[in-house]
Structure 1
Amino acid sequence: MPSSVPSFAELLNQCERSAIHLELRDCYASTERFEAWKRGERIDWEDRESWWHPYDQLIAETVARGVSVRRARIVSEPVSEYIRWEHYVTHANVTAGEEVRWLPRRQATSISLPGNDFWLFDGALLRVHHFSGDGVVVEDEITADPETVKLCSAAFEAVWERALPHHLYTI
């Protein structure tokens, strides 16, 4: 059955002011890029054509339209191998125009957090990611429920305020 959830690109293209993303997991499903990194392969950051993906282009175009794109990650420490890789590849996110911050999980105890990762577009529309135990997205849900939006927005802003900018977070 086809999904009624708009694609991420559609949602981002409709965005006018802000897109925020909160990540709560220490591991997501493995990808070929992650497996290559584990084998010791590294990205040649000077060769942008080799690593610039459609996602990076979409973010760059969105930021160029004046939309603020922010991502916050809550991570356990010591970090997982996946988070170590994610920190490494965040160079691409930042180059595309995302602002990225990291918050050690031990500093998030007093923050009311939603149970799932999400994107919030223009402070009004949520795309919630539901994962299997091994980090595979099994479903995305769209909601504009005011109470859920309020919780997610407040959680993100509380995390953002405490988190370290990417260039200051070392692992």
Structure 2
Amino acid sequence: MLHLRNDWSVWLDLFHGCQKHAFHLEVRDSYGVPQESERLRRFLAGEPDLIDDYKSSWVTLVQETTARGVEISRVRVVTVPHSGYQRWLLSVTGGNVEAGEDIRYLPRHLAGEVPPDDWWLFDDERVVFNLVDENGSQASAGMAVTTDPRIVEYCRSVKQRLWELATPYAEYVKK
């Protein structure tokens, strides 16, 4: 495995190099992302949301990537009832979906065995693990990248199983 710093330029390179699909598995009920803290605080306090450069950059990347014909999808495995963080994500995910990302939700009690770590699977060839600490904050190691065929195959099988069980965002928020 190759460890890389977790900064925007690395993510840009990964998405610009992606040819077919990028899949993200999220398994935590909350994350400690500094760029999200003010938006989360405002949501929990009942204040109006602010769109910031962090969110705008992601939406732009999704639009550019999907315009090239690359599919971007994710499954969020969530505990029900939802954490404050997951309630906030549900309130802002519509913008990601409108940008072209196919996001699905799967209640943890219906998921069966779930890996303990989040990861991205690019073109069924490369797995990028988001390394976080127990609070969901970025670990000092950043991210780990592998093309090991056994790990890639495992992640591909997890993706397939969870995708079939998960509910599309628009349907999930109606429940």
1:149 aligns with 2:149: no
Pair 1:151–1:93, CA change in 2 (3 A): same
Percent identity over the alignment is 35
Q: What is aligned with 1:34? A: 40
Q: What is aligned with 1:79? A: 82
Q: CA deviation at 1:158?
A: 0.8
Q: What is aligned with 1:22? A: 25
Number of residue pairs matched by the alignment = 165
Cα pair 2:18 2:123 within 8 Å, conserved: yes
| Segments of 4+ moved more than 3 angstroms | 2-6, 48-52
1:98 aligns with 2:101: yes
Taking the aligned partners of 2:54 and 2:48, their CA distance within structure 1 comes to: 11
Higher helix share: 2
Q: What is aligned with 2:120? A: 119
Q: Output aligned runs, 1:35-50, within 5 Å.
A: 35-43=41-49
1:88 aligns with 2:94: no
Taking the aligned partners of 1:163 and 1:137, their CA distance within structure 2 comes to: 26
The structure whose RCO (Cα within 8 Å, separation 6+) is larger is: 2
Cα pair 2:29 2:86 within 8 Å, conserved: yes
Q: CA deviation at 1:4?
A: 5.9
Q: CA deviation at 1:50?
A: 8.9
SS at match of 2:124: coil
Provide structure 2 residue ranges, at least 5 long, that are not aligned to the other structure.
none
Cα pair 1:16 1:67 within 8 Å, conserved: yes
Taking the aligned partners of 1:27 and 1:51, their CA distance within structure 2 comes to: 18
Q: CA deviation at 1:91?
A: 1.1
The one-letter code sitting in structure 2 at the alignment partner of 1:133 is: E
Map Cα deviations across residues 109-135 of structure 1 (whole Å, 9 max, x no partner): 1x4x33210011101011101211111
Q: CA deviation at 1:156?
A: 1.2
| Cα RMSD (Å) | 2.3
Cα pair 1:24 1:117 within 8 Å, conserved: yes
The one-letter code sitting in structure 1 at the alignment partner of 2:125 is: A
**TM-score between the two structures when normalised by the length of structure 1:** 0.88
Taking the aligned partners of 2:153 and 2:22, their CA distance within structure 1 comes to: 15
Cα pair 1:114 1:151 within 8 Å, conserved: no
62-71 vs 27-36, greater mean Cα deviation: 27-36
Q: CA deviation at 1:35?
A: 1.0
Provide structure 1 residue ranges, at least 5 long, that are not aligned to the other structure.
none
Q: What is aligned with 1:7? A: 10
Taking the aligned partners of 2:46 and 2:156, their CA distance within structure 1 comes to: 38
